[in-house]
């Protein structure tokens, strides 16, 4: 079937990239990144971006395309992803949207509610206030204007806290009200087949720990040193990638390297847990894999995709 899209979702360290390469080889696919950290340059290792040997096995799009001081919003990613999907269709290829950033996947399937432009002056005011107050106090301030967002967003989610604050300040209405009153339309009139990898938690956590050890042995610390030399604002999304804050603290002498590695592994496990919760509650899976991806899943997955492409029904 033409003009169809396969989504491959799952938590970090679940084997999404390996699955995507196998599917791309079998079905003339193009792999389109849906991971909010893998869009940035300078984060090859800590974002677990596919290495060059994997990138060479199939076409990959939207990996390592932005400088770390150039934030990628959901809307910006959506525009780029839709363009890549259309380009794949034009070439007779199957778009494979791969990642674990839930808001990206939700926007692709459901669209984004139109929000009025926020003046740069208000955005700067919100950003400065957050820097002055810190996440916890800023969230309390946000509650005066948008209690739903303040209750829903964690204090560490700087980008979305500032976004909710600036919209409420600029328009006089909470972001959630805009979203309710202006229902979004899907950006593509197409069929989606959604494959979700949902490993057992303990196996996933073991994979997370092993992978971080590999990262440390293969240049993660040098990657963070290079990021530090850029003198970037620590509030930027790229500077908050899992592992970056922990290793920065070790480099500054605030903690030792063993503690940094321990904390980074813990943060990654917590991140994976949040991803699994979101995927379970927010994304309807057409095919679920109950373990980390391995080649033994190929026959089941390939059969599912062939049927989807033939009938248009996942």
Angle at 179 between CA 133 and CA 154, to 5 degrees: 30
CA–CA distance from 231 to each of 158, 206, 223, 227, 228 (Å)?
19, 34, 14, 7, 6
Instruction: Give dist(CA 226, CA 132) in Å, integer.
Output: 27
Instruction: Give dist(CA 262, CA 257) in Å, integer.
Output: 9
With beta carbons less than 8 A apart as the criterion, state whether 9 and 100 touch: yes
With beta carbons less than 8 A apart as the criterion, state whether 186 and 111 touch: yes
Q: How confident is the model at residue 183 (pLDDT cuts 50, 70, 90)?
A: low
pLDDT of res. 175: 85
Nearest CA-CA partner of 12 in 97, 104, 131, 98: 98
Instruction: Give dist(CA 280, CA 198) in Å, integer.
Output: 9
pTM above 0.95, yes or no: no
pLDDT of res. 1: 47
Q: How confident is the model at residue 100 (pLDDT cuts 50, 70, 90)?
A: very high
pLDDT in tens, 26-41: 999 999 999 999 999 9
Strongest mean pLDDT among 151-160, 233-242, 245-254: 245-254
% of the chain surpassing 70 pLDDT: 99
pLDDT in tens, 198-215: 999 999 999 999 999 999
Higher per-residue confidence, 73 vs 296: 296
With beta carbons less than 8 A apart as the criterion, state whether 45 and 245 touch: no
Beta carbons within 10 angstroms of residue 288's beta carbon: 13
pLDDT in tens, 108-150: 999 987 777 888 899 889 999 998 999 999 999 999 999 999 9
Domains of the chain, each with CATH number or no CATH: 4-112+191-311 (3.40.50.300), 120-181 (1.10.20.140)
Instruction: Give dist(CA 214, CA 22) in Å, integer.
Output: 23
């Amino acid at each position: 079937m033409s003009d169809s899209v396969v989504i491959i979702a799952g938590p970090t360290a679940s084997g999404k990239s390996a699955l995507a390469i196998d599917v791309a080889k079998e079905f003339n696919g193009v792999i389109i990144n849906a991971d909010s950290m893998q869009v940035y340059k300078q984060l090859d290792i800590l974002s677990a971006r596919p290495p060059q040997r994997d990138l060479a096995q199939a076409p990959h799009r939207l990996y390592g395309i932005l400088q770390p001081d150039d934030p990628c919003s959901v809307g910006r990613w959506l525009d780029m992803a839709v363009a890549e999907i259309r380009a794949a269709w034009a070439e007779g290829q199957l778009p494979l949207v791969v990642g674990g950033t839930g808001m990206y996947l939700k926007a692709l399937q459901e669209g984004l509610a139109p929000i009025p432009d926020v003046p740069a002056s208000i955005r700067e005011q919100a950003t400065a206030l957050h820097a002055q107050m810190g996440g916890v106090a800023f969230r309390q301030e946000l509650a005066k204007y948008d209690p739903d967002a303040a209750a829903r967003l964690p204090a560490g989610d700087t980008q979305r806290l500032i976004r909710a604050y600036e919209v409420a300040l600029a328009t006089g209405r909470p972001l959630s009200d805009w979203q309710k009153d202006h229902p979004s339309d899907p950006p593509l009139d197409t069929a989606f087949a959604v494959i979700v990898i949902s490993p057992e938690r303990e196996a996933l956590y073991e994979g997370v720990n092993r992978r971080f050890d590999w990262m440390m042995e293969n240049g993660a610390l040098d990657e963070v040193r290079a990021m530090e030399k850029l003198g970037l604002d620590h509030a930027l999304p790229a500077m908050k990638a899992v592992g970056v804050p922990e290793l920065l603290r070790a480099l500054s002498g605030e903690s030792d390297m063993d503690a940094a590695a321990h904390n980074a592994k813990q943060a990654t496990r917590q991140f994976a847990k949040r991803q699994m919760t979101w995927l379970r509650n927010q994304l309807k899976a057409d095919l679920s894999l109950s373990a980390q991806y391995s080649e033994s899943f190929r026959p089941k997955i390939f059969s599912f995709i062939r049927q989807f492409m033939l009938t248009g029904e996942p």
